[in-house]
Amino acid sequence: MTRMIAIQPLTAQAFAPFGDVLDVAGDPDKLINQGMCGRYHDRAKLDFSDGRAGISLFKAIPRDLPLKLDMVERHPDGSQAFLPLSQEPFLVVVAPDQGGVPGLPLAFRTAPGQGVNYHRGVWHGVLTPLSQPGLFAVVDRIGDGPNLQEHWFKDAILIGP
Ligand SMILES: NC(=O)N[C@@H](O)C(=O)O
Ligand code: NI
C-alpha cells in the first residue's frame, strides 16, 4: 500500500519535537558591530558524544516531486544541522521514533534561507534540495564509529507534490 504525505510549510512549532529551525524571523537577540549586525544567538541545540563538531559543505543533486521516500536515517551520537547557502527552499523529512523504528514521516518545505538542526537520534530523510545549487553548510559530529542507523521502508511512501 502506497502512503502519500503532503508537504507542509516549516514552522519552529511543528518542527520542535525533531529539532530547531534556523532563520532570521523577528528581531535579533542582540545588536552587535556598533548596531550594524543583528545576532540571532545560540539558536540550535548541538549535541555530540565522543567526538567534536565539524563543518562540512554539501553539494547535493536536486530531487523532483513527488519524492519516493525509501529510507530515513538517524545519528545516535550527534545532532546534524543543514544551513542552505542559497535562498532556495528544500525538503525536510522527519519521523517520530516508535520503539526503535520510525513512525509515519512528516514533510516540510523550508522558507527561503531557512535551515534546520536535527536533534541527536531524530529520524530524518537525507539532504533533499528541490532546485539548484543544492549547496549547504553542515554542522555535525566528527568522530569514530558510523554514527548512522538507517531504516528502509517496505511499503512505498510518496512525498508531495
Ligand atoms: N551522510 C551524511 O553525511 N548526510 C546524511 O546524514 C544526511 O542527513 O543527508
Ligand atoms: Ni543525516
Q: What percent of the chain has pLDDT over 70?
A: 100
Q: Which residues line ligand 1 (CB under 6 A)?
A: 73, 80, 124, 126-127
Q: What percent of the chain has pLDDT over 90?
A: 98
CATH of the domain at 86: 2.60.120.480
Distance 27 CA to ligand 1 centre (A): 31
Distance 74 CA to ligand 1 centre (A): 9
Residue 63 backbone phi and psi in degrees, to 5: -115, 150
Distance 41 CA to ligand 2 centre (A): 24
Cis peptide bond prior to 96, omega within 30° of 0: no
Distance 160 CA to ligand 2 centre (A): 21
Residue 37 domain boundaries: 3-160
Provide the H-helix boundaries in 3-159: 12-15
| Mutation choice for ligand 1 from 61, 138, 150, CB with most ligand atoms inside 8 A | 138
Per-residue pLDDT tens digits for 104-154 = 999 999 999 999 999 999 999 999 999 999 999 999 999 999 999 999 999
pLDDT value of residue 1: 87
pLDDT value of residue 156: 85
For the chain, how many structural domains are there in total?
1
- In terms of Cα–Cα distance, which of 148, 126, 16 is closest to 67? 126
